[in-house]
Amino acid sequence: MKDIRFFLLFVMVTVTLIGCGGSDEQTQTDDEVVIAPPQGFPPPLSTWQWQLKGSVNDEYDVFVYDIDLFVNSPEIISDLQTQGRFVVCYFSAGTYEPYRPDSELFIDEDFGNALEVFDQERWLNTRSEHVREIMKSRMQLAKEKGCDAVEPDNMDAHINDNGLGLSAEDTIDYSIFIAEYAKGLDLYVGMKNNVGLTDELAQYYDFAINESCYRFSECHLLAPFYENNKAVFHVEYLSVADVGDGKLDEVCAQTKSLGISTLVLPVLLDDAYRFSCDD
């Protein structure tokens, strides 16, 4: 537990732990009952919402909210927490985004190739101490804003045409650096995608966030998380028509049995629609 608030949050989600096979071991003294902390936090099969665009819709009855670090104020984060939410703050740890408020801090030597899909973004040289100092500042910002956890994105340069010669070993080294620094700030940290390195990295991360593991037949690669009582938050990008045709039921049948919390969302993550395996 990080502080007394997480003790209260744990009590709120105890039923979730019981539902997915967790236990609430208790030891009792003459004056009090001590509840043992969960093995994984946030707990497996926690309900969640992921919104990175637009004003945050706080009306979903879920435990975890994953929102953008830069565009959301400390007040928004505090309001979510007052409602009993666990707040994860998103930032890109592996790419340059020109529209971020700290983008002018990067230098030419930091940049690799443009991303294949988002051509305004560039892969970053994650071996660079300069890049790592900027990422430390981003995680410090998350701490200052009151985030409970961070979601460092784009940590898989080694499987992309990064233009920097970044290898799997570089990714592992950088991922461990990010995780350890976040934990040093008393933040929880989630592994984003990067399923090919789950065996190497799961021990350093508190939970996982995944895009499209069902589509790419990769959900089983997240076993080092869900088999060790660590939450996996997963999204499939299906259309409303796909959901109406029964695709959501197919996805949920597989992922929920594994202990994975699945949403169907639009690619823009703008809350245009939302379907959940918990509905």
pLDDT (0 to 100) of residue 279: 84
C-alpha–C-alpha distance, residues 132 and 112, integer Å: 15
Percent of the chain with pLDDT over 70: 86
| Helices within 106-226 (DSSP H only) | 129-145, 168-184, 198-201, 223-226
Query: What pTM was estimated for this model as a whole?
Result: 0.88
| CA of residue 258 relative to chain centroid, distance | 18
Contacts for 238-244 with beta carbons within 8 Å, 24 or more apart? 238/264, 238/275, 240/273, 243/275
Range of the domain at 227: 4-276
Number of domains in the chain: 1
Region 237-266 average pLDDT: 97
**CATH no. for residue 93?**
3.20.20.70
Hey, which residues does 276 pair with through a beta bridge? Answer: 263
pLDDT band at 6 (very low <50, low <70, confident <90, very high): low
pLDDT (0 to 100) of residue 9: 56
- pLDDT tens for 168-225 read 999 999 999 999 999 999 999 999 999 999 999 999 999 999 999 999 999 999 999 9
Q: Crossing angle, helix 74-82 and helix 129-145, to 10 degrees?
A: 50
pLDDT band at 1 (very low <50, low <70, confident <90, very high): very low
Contacts for 134-140 with beta carbons within 8 Å, 24 or more apart? 134/102, 134/105, 134/106, 135/93, 135/178, 135/181, 136/181, 137/102, 138/69, 138/91, 138/93, 138/102, 139/178, 139/181, 139/182, 139/185, 139/187, 140/185
